[in-house]
């Protein structure tokens, strides 16, 4: 029996028991939203694979000047506002998918990409939004990490970090975890954001910004097949 089938059977059993008690079902979204349904109004529960998010540039995106060497987008790639997590992407890939592992990764032996992909066809921000938008480099992400003030907060129902630059301007980075396989890990307690820089010593890894719900933050190294979030930058 597959994991998805077991999940469906358990959900249907739960639905049947709740229906007998004439209660309601509350569905909590990753962006903090909540949706309530009366069980008497629900005919069935069906689990389907989510469609990939459109990665086109939203009309309301802004280039926020934090007083750093580059300006940072006001929302993530795949999002339409700052509190949405947007798309999960593997390093060097330009579209979402349902499973994030080496069997689905476009460059399984990690020999088809350069050490820096910013502004290249493997840069999802550059491909989706067009120049001058692109992935941040490791140096630019380190600057965001080291020169800004980080505060964990809940904003319009979404959890994440408010990042304030030297000039007092801020951006909000939602915490939405990482994708491994078909699962999302630590979606409300951990943030992981891609850079366009490959690890210098191991080609199977790339550099990322990570932060936790205590607002601790640093530059880390992740396997390239993980699904992570992306915040574009531009000059």
Give the per-residue pLDDT at 44: 66
The reply to whether 121 and 154 lie within a common domain is yes
In the chain, the percentage of residues whose pLDDT exceeds 70 is 79
The reply to whether 162 and 216 lie within a common domain is yes
The reply to whether 32 and 67 lie within a common domain is no
pLDDT category at 209 given cuts 50, 70, 90 is very high
In a domain, 115, yes or no: yes
The reply to whether 226 and 116 lie within a common domain is yes
CA distance 181 to 88: 12
The reply to whether 13 and 79 lie within a common domain is no
In a domain, 230, yes or no: yes
CA distance 110 to 113: 7
What is the greatest pairwise CA distance in the chain? 60
Residue-number span of the structural domain to which 11 is assigned: 3-41
The reply to whether 34 and 103 lie within a common domain is no
CA distance 67 to 69: 7
The reply to whether 176 and 143 lie within a common domain is yes
The reply to whether 199 and 110 lie within a common domain is yes
Give the per-residue pLDDT at 158: 97
Q: Is the pLDDT of residue 31 over 50?
A: no
pLDDT category at 19 given cuts 50, 70, 90 is very low
In a domain, 54, yes or no: no
Q: What is the DSSP letter of 53?
A: P
Q: Is the pLDDT of residue 34 over 70?
A: no
In a domain, 24, yes or no: yes
In a domain, 55, yes or no: no
The reply to whether 172 and 88 lie within a common domain is yes
Q: How many domains does the chain have?
A: 2
Give the per-residue pLDDT at 173: 98
In a domain, 50, yes or no: no
Out of 8-12, 54-58, 108-112, 168-172, which region has the weakest mean confidence (pLDDT)?
8-12
| Structural contact between residues 72 and 135, judged by C-beta atoms closer than 8 angstroms | no
């Amino acid at each position: 029996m597959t994991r998805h089938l077991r999940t469906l059977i358990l959900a249907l059993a739960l639905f049947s028991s709740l229906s007998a008690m004439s209660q309601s079902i509350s569905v909590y979204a990753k962006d903090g939203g909540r949706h309530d349904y009366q069980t008497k109004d629900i005919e069935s529960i069906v689990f389907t694979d989510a469609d990939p998010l459109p990665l086109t540039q939203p009309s309301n995106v802004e280039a926020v000047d934090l007083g750093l060497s580059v300006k940072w987008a006001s929302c993530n790639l795949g999002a339409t506002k700052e509190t949405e997590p947007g798309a999960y992407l593997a390093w060097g890939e330009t579209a979402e998918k349902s499973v994030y592992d080496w069997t689905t990764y476009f460059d399984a032996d990690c020999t088809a990409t350069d050490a820096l992909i910013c502004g290249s066809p493997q840069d999802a921000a550059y491909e989706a939004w067009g120049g001058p938008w692109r992935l941040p480099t490791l140096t630019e992400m380190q600057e965001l990490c080291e020169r800004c003030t980080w505060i964990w907060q809940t904003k319009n129902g979404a959890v994440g970090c408010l990042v304030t630059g030297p000039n007092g301007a801020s951006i909000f980075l939602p915490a939405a975890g990482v994708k491994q396989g078909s699962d999302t890990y630590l979606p409300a307690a951990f943030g992981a954001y891609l850079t366009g820089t490959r690890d210098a010593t191991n080609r199977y890894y790339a550099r990322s910004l990570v932060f936790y719900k205590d607002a601790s933050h640093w530059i880390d190294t992740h396997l390239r097949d993980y699904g992570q979030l992306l915040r574009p930058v531009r000059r």
